[in-house]
Amino acid sequence: MAESGSPQPKRPTPPRQEQKNLRKPLQVMHISRKDEPEDPSQSLNKLIDEKNQELNQKENDVNPSFLQKPLKTTSPNQPKIFQSDHEEDISMEDILSKDSFSKQNKKFSSTFNSGDFVERSVDDFDFDEDAFLAALDENEPVGNTGEIAKGSVIGIESDGVYVDIGGKAPGFMPKHECGLGVISNLKERFPKGLEVEVLVTREQNADGMVTISCRALALRKSWEKVLQLAKEAKVVEVKINGFNRGGVTCDLEGLRGFIPRSQLNEGENHESLVGKNISVAFIEVTPDNRKLILSEKKAITVAKFANLEIGQLVKGKVVAVKPYGFFIDIGGISGLLHQSMITNGSLRSLREVFNQGDDIKALITDLDPARGRIGLNTALLEGMPGELLVEKGKVLAEAEDRAIKAQSILLQAKEQKEEKEEKEIQ
């Protein structure tokens, strides 16, 4: 065995065998060249000739003279498209220009005679103004929200009433909108054919039906009437139908009114008033908030105002002296004698004329029952300015006779005031 460190003998290299699969040489594909394209001008001429033949075969009512001529080209570089009897041949460059286009447009329009078009007036059309307005009225929606409508009952269901108010479809009135209070029998309350007045509460839907209400209309009229009563400071009689810790409730013209305990003559035992009738006056009337507040105590004052009028001479007693005048008690109601109405003379102090507890006679010059105010005047009783400061006893003793003269002055002033208000309204 040879040592590991000795060099290995070289082996003989075997002869190479011939390669069996030799790569074939590259084959060159022969590409035949197509014929060169024709000259563009010749193709265009050929296309124009074909189009001329098609145009000659088709008949048209409108045959402008410049379309009847065959299309020509003068040179390969600048083909001529149209030819006219009056102008020279038109090239493609001329057609693309704006000026040439406008000229050709004018020429085209000139080929049409004005007699070809028939002028028609409005009367030639089938148009009727009355029929048009009638169609508008027929299709106009009936019943906008808040409007009052009149109609007749045409149908009754368990949940409401159908009323013909002149629209595409009848108006529907739900059962709870048929009136104030509880209605147990709709057929008895709304027989067919009954003429009713309703308020539209919702405009028509997709079917043309509107929602109507007798209750809403009744409430509107009730609020309008109550507002007028309050404006005139009327005293009304109501029936107490309930109570709570703060007062009692009542019904007035279908509206729920409230009387606070402080405005009752028997506020400590207000539960006993249920079922009784009492006279009340108005403190607050607000339809938007549905607030109706009444007063039994104020009714006494308002009732006394009914016996008073402007220019009337009244007797009273000074109950309070204020920096701005005197408060006078007139049979249970209070009037104000302002410092500017005491005398026409120079007044240094109110106590120069009257003191608390003094008896007094004065003319009513201002009357506001709604706010419970009475304006008094003693200056009109004077014969000369400041007479009340010098001879107060004489003025008060002759007050009845002097009041007659003063009343004529007040009446004249009242008439002038009314005339001025009428002019402002106009």
CA distance 273 to 281: 17
CA distance 379 to 45: 120
The whole-number pLDDT of residue 222 equals: 92
The whole-number pLDDT of residue 425 equals: 72
Ranges in the chain, pLDDT < 70: 1-45, 55-128, 132-143, 426
Sign of CA dihedral 136, 139, 145, 150: positive
The whole-number pLDDT of residue 327 equals: 94
CA distance 301 to 239: 20
3-state SS, residue 375: strand
Domains defined along the chain, listed by start: 54-92 (no CATH), 143-214 (2.40.50.140), 233-302 (2.40.50.140), 307-423 (2.40.50.140)
CA distance 192 to 152: 7
The whole-number pLDDT of residue 128 equals: 65
The whole-number pLDDT of residue 308 equals: 87
Per-residue DSSP letter, 167: S
The whole-number pLDDT of residue 171 equals: 87
The whole-number pLDDT of residue 318 equals: 93
Among 222, 227, 152, CA closest to 181: 222
The whole-number pLDDT of residue 81 equals: 43
DSSP character string of 255-308: EEEEEEGGGSTTGGGGGGGTT-EEEEEEEEEETTTTEEEEEHHHHHHHHHHTT-
The whole-number pLDDT of residue 82 equals: 43
Residue listed under structure tokens 């005139």: 232
The whole-number pLDDT of residue 370 equals: 73
The whole-number pLDDT of residue 69 equals: 47
Model confidence pLDDT, tens digit, residues 318-353: 999 998 999 999 988 889 999 999 988 888 888 888
DSSP character string of 67-117: HHSPP--S-SSS-EEE--SSS--EEHHHHHSHHHHHHHHHHHHHTS-GGGS
Residues 399 and 360: beta-carbon distance below 8 Å = no
